[in-house]
Amino acid sequence: MVSSTQRNTTSRWWGLRHSLAKRRDFPLPLSLLVLLFCFALSGCASITLGVVQGGRLVDGGVIAGVGVVRKGAPAHAKHHMSLEPGDEIRTDAQSTAVLTFAEGARVYVQPNTHVRLGSIFVFIGEVLVKARGLFKVKTEYATAASEGTEYLVRVDPEARVRVVVAEDRVALTSNSGRWPKRSLGVGQAAAIVGPDLLEVGQAGIGEVEQVRMRIRTLDALVPNTSNLGTAALAAGIFAIGVGVMSNRAGNDHDSDRQTPREAPPTHTDRIR
């Protein structure tokens, strides 16, 4: 399933490409095509919202149970809604918000959780992260950064933070520099209380497998859009190639309209 954001981006890109290409006297320069390529990719650099309730993905209409605040004003949560940096998301006790990033990362905002978008900032509650490439989750006192991994970040009302790593590694840093950077591997967990790193050690029995299972269960409910970035890149490269060929065709067309060279003398002309 392709989101409305990607459909709108594709239609805008090809519409602009078509309108310019119709002008035969205005071949598309490569520099313009590169700009159009960047324009096409920028539309895919968004975050889309999904909501899981009662073991299924909610589709269509305004969704109750998830609050969205944009620039201080409430907005209605909708399936495949495009989100922006600075937006805040709140979930009730029956709702899990699914934040899907075009480059493939996905954040499952668990019930009774409050987050802000940009780098995901967790005010309270719990998020499950499935990321490809560099991805950060921030809390008031610490930041968990990963490169292609699965992990959990939980913040309770007393500002206690727990991080559990299910795949690859997570770098844990103090926002104030109070303690040195720590690297967590698979099966490790960290506990943070306020600005202090309390301990780093092994996760509880079954805790890592539970994180994995919860992510797999939610993944099964939500369409996979992790290839959208690659698709956009391929589309952009294809469009640049088409534009280059269009330029060549335009140049050939112009050369066809040049005044033909004088014909070589005929045999009769030589006799004269």
pLDDT (0 to 100) of residue 4: 42
Tokens 């005044």 found at: 259
What percent of the chain has a predicted confidence (pLDDT) above 90?
57
| pLDDT above 90: residue 78 | yes
Give the Å distances, CA to CA, from 244 to 16, 19, 136, 234, 265: 16, 16, 39, 15, 39
Q: Rounded to an integer, what is the distance from CA 5 to the centroid of its chain?
A: 11
pLDDT (0 to 100) of residue 36: 36
The contacts of residue 98 (CB under 8 Å, 6+ apart) are: 49, 50, 51, 52, 57, 106, 107, 108, 109, 218, 222
Pairing of strands 120-138, 106-109: antiparallel
- Angle, alpha carbons 80-81-85 (nearest 5°): 125
Choose the most confident range, by mean pLDDT, from 1-15, 19-33, 82-96, 146-160: 82-96
d(CA 45, CA 146): 19
Q: Is the dihedral of CA 20, 25, 26, 28 positive or negative?
A: positive
Boundaries of CATH 2.60.120.1440 in the chain? 47-101+105-224
State the fold for domain 47-101+105-224. Answer: Jelly Rolls (2.60.120)
Q: Which helix H or strand E contains 98, and what residues bound it?
A: strand 95-101
Give the Å distances, CA to CA, from 224 to 19, 49, 138, 139, 220: 33, 13, 25, 28, 9
- For 245, the token pair is 């060929």
pLDDT (0 to 100) of residue 224: 73
pLDDT tens-digit readout, 3-57 = 444 444 445 445 544 544 444 443 444 443 333 333 333 344 489 999 999 999 9
| Mean model confidence pLDDT for the chain | 76
pLDDT tens-digit readout, 208-257 = 999 999 999 999 999 875 443 333 322 233 333 333 333 444 444 444 44
The answer to whether residues 96 and 218 touch, using CB atoms and an 8 Å cutoff, is yes
| pLDDT above 80: residue 135 | yes
Q: Is the dihedral of CA 16, 104, 91, 124 positive or negative?
A: negative
Long-range contacts of 204-207 (CB under 8 A, 24+ apart): 207/164
Choose the most confident range, by mean pLDDT, from 33-42, 91-100, 133-142: 91-100
228 φ/ψ angles, rounded to the nearest 5 degrees:
-65, -40
pLDDT (0 to 100) of residue 14: 52
pLDDT (0 to 100) of residue 270: 40
Q: How many CB atoms lie within 10 A of CB 139?
A: 21
**Which residue would you say has higher pLDDT here, 258 or 96?**
96
The contacts of residue 1 (CB under 8 Å, 6+ apart) are: 223, 225
| pLDDT above 70: residue 65 | yes
Q: Is the dihedral of CA 97, 99, 105, 109 positive or negative?
A: negative
Mean pLDDT of the region 179-197: 95
